[in-house]
């Protein structure tokens, strides 16, 4: 049974609103107990009785928001004061933007030596791409990873934006923040965490890069063991649509696979690691899977160590009541459960939503006494000097 609160309870995180990677980093922290305050751009309806609609950010679970015009000295003063009491600042901007807002990291660390400033960029902060715009596919491209993804005799293929944006970006950034929190517990000081999606993606691809020097991945893209070249590590279409995923790499699993497929060919097993046999083997498997529906193949391989599973769609999982869970289970201080209402869709977050409550909890501030609204965003009320 759990014996403690979530491990990041009490950690205060300020997230400067940005695209998917930064919000994903803070979502991870929120799911493990951190308090997240997103800083949004001003909106005429923010902090009013008629709040604006949610922004396009979908990764807002357990977060709150305030709207600030960071070009306003009074709004900037409010944020600077908040940062003296915060634990983490997530900066999703391109190099130089934070400094242009008079929020230079070194100055922020002087004001709050315990602050952790996580700076997440797409490209490296140095090198030929540092000042260029880009997206997931661009970061994958210059990391070397994209060159290894895709079918033979076809262009490299990016798997949506999951690798660079979320794995190499948001997840790696969250790891950096956690490492800095541990270091702060030992040293008593915060620091700057520099993450970028090129290095994060390249790090995720360490095995793939090393494997290029081995027989498992020394052939052109789409011709190797794990990149679509191997017929027993592949996805096959079934009768009537639907797909089955095959990953029968080990001999004992391969035997279960061919047994389930009713393929009676001893040479198939004996020569399975010879690339010259792969085209014919793929054709045998392709024809076999087309003989039954996906549901029928599920029954054939149910409980069998054939490494053969159905490809389930998200709507299908939702209809089945599949339980979405936090990424990692902790027995003593678990993360927070994903609410059923947010398992399959985001409720979104409007500029200003929930933020005033956070200001009171963190700082003891109240509207009209410590801050007010000007031009769709909050501003700090300076106390008169006696």
Distance CA 332, CA 261 (A): 45
- Distance from C-alpha of 238 to C-alpha of 259, rounded to nearest angstrom: 17
Dihedral over alpha carbons 182, 185, 187, 189 (to 10 degrees): 90
The answer to whether 153 is a known catalytic residue is no
Q: From residue 341, give the alpha-carbon distance in Å to each of 33, 54, 165, 337.
A: 19, 16, 25, 11
Asked if residues 248 and 301 have their Cβ atoms less than 8 Å apart, the reply is: no
Q: Among 92, 89, 37, 25, which residue's Cα sits nearest to residue 62?
A: 37
Active-site hit among 31, 165, 199, 370: 165
Minimal CA–CA distance to 119: which of 142, 86, 88? 88
Tell me which residues are annotated as active site. Answer: 165
């Amino acid at each position: 049974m759990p014996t403690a609160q979530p491990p990041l309870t009490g950690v205060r995180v300020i997230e400067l609103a940005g695209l998917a990677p930064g919000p994903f980093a803070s979502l991870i922290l929120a799911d493990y107990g951190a308090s997240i305050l997103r800083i949004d751009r001003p909106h005429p309806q923010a902090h009013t009785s008629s709040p604006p609609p949610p922004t396009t950010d979908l990764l807002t679970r357990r977060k709150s928001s305030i709207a600030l015009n960071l070009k306003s000295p009074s709004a900037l003063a409010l944020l600077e004061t908040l940062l003296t009491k915060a634990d983490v600042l997530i900066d999703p901007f391109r190099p130089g933007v934070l400094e242009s807002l008079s929020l230079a990291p070194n100055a922020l660390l002087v004001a709050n030596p315990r602050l952790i400033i996580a700076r997440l960029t797409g490209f490296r902060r140095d090198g030929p791409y540092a000042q260029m715009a880009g997206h997931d596919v661009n970061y994958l491209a210059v990391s070397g990873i994209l060159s290894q993804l895709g079918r033979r005799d076809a262009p490299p293929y990016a798997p949506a934006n999951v690798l660079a944006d979320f794995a190499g970006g948001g997840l790696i950034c969250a790891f950096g923040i956690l490492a800095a929190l541990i270091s702060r517990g030992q040293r008593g000081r915060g620091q700057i965490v520099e993450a970028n999606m090129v290095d994060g993606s390249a790090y995720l691809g360490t095995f793939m890069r090393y494997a290029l020097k081995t027989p498992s991945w020394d052939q052109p893209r789409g011709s190797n063991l794990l990149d679509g070249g191997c017929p027993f590590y592949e996805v096959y279409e079934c009768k009537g649509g639907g797909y089955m995923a095959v990953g029968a790499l080990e001999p004992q699993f391969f035997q279960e696979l061919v047994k389930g497929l009713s393929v009676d060919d001893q040479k198939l097993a004996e020569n399975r690691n010879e690339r010259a046999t792969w085209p014919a083997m793929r054709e045998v498997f392709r024809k076999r899977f087309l003989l039954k529906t996906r549901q029928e193949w599920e029954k054939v391989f149910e409980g069998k160590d054939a490494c053969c599973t159905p490809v389930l769609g998200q709507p299908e999982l939702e209809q089945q009541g599949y339980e979405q869970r936090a990424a990692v289970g902790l027995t003593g201080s678990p993360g927070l459960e994903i609410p059923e209402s947010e398992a399959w869709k985001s409720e979104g977050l409007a500029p200003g939503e929930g933020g005033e409550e956070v200001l009171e909890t963190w700082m003891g501030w109240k509207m009209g006494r410590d801050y007010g609204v000007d031009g769709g965003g909050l501003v700090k009320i300076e106390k008169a000097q006696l």
